[in-house]
């Protein structure tokens, strides 16, 4: 079992969290202990327990142990729903990889697989000279790319895949997510993606199906991690 992997996306709002949570349920259904992590999250709400992000909470709930400390799941929680480098500046903090990696190591040693979700697209800036891609690159994590199936996905998917490979990361495969149920020619677009992307399709998630119920669609993804 691959001990840890990185979930990247072709853009923001294309279902990285949905895919990551579905993968966590698929791993657990296959008998593995698995945990989700979102190292950096912007757009967090004030709660009595501190800043909380809906995506990070979803990953926490989908993990084998839903009672892990939130600070391990989401070490950097930022208030404003902006690019992380801007949200961090508004909060008066600067993002660095060291505290993120410390939380990563704690989670990684206690689970068979750690699913690390990125923020936004591959090259979203976190701080001066630091990008979301650096999490996968410096931690040497294989990457699964989530492709939001909508108009424009062919271009976005190819550009993202090229960037991932150019950065020296292993593109393990990609997951299609039907974010637009009214998309024209969806099967033809899927066929084109299979032809153009340099890694296999690990599953296609239907629109509007909860992660716990969609786990069966990612059996190929689990098999790819063995």
Residues serving a catalytic function are 38
In terms of Cα–Cα distance, which of 31, 42, 24 is closest to 175? 24
Residue 107: count of CB within 10 angstroms of its CB: 21
Written as six digits, the tokens of 46 are: 């004030």
Task: Give dist(CA 176, CA 191) in Å, integer.
Answer: 11
Determine the Cα–Cα distance for residues 184 and 105; give it in Å rounded to an integer: 43
Measured between its terminal Cα atoms, the distance across the chain in Å is 4
d(CA 223, CA 226): 5
């Amino acid at each position: 079992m691959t001990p840890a992997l990185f979930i990247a996306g072709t853009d923001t709002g294309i279902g990285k969290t949905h895919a990551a949570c579905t993968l966590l349920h698929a791993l657990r259904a296959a008998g593995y202990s698995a945990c989700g992590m979102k190292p950096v999250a912007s757009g967090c709400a004030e709660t009595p327990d501190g800043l909380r992000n809906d995506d990070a909470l979803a990953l926490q709930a989908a993990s084998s142990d839903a009672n892990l400390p939130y600070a391990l799941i989401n070490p950097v929680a930022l208030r404003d729903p902006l690019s992380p480098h801007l949200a961090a500046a508004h909060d008066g903090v600067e993002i660095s990889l060291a505290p993120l990696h410390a939380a990563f190591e704690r989670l990684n040693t206690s689970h068979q697989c750690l699913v690390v979700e990125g923020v936004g697209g591959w090259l979203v800036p976190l701080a001066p000279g630091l990008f979301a891609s650096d999490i996968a690159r410096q931690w040497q994590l294989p990457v699964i790319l989530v492709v939001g199936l909508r108009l424009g996905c062919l271009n976005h998917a190819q550009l993202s895949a090229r960037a991932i490979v150019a950065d020296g990361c292993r593109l393990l495969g990609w997951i299609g997510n039907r974010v637009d149920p009214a998309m024209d020619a969806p099967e033809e677009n899927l066929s084109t993606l299979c032809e153009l992307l340099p890694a296999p399709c690990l599953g296609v998630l239907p629109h509007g199906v909860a992660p716990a119920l969609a786990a069966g669609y990612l059996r190929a993804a689990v098999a790819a991690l063995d």
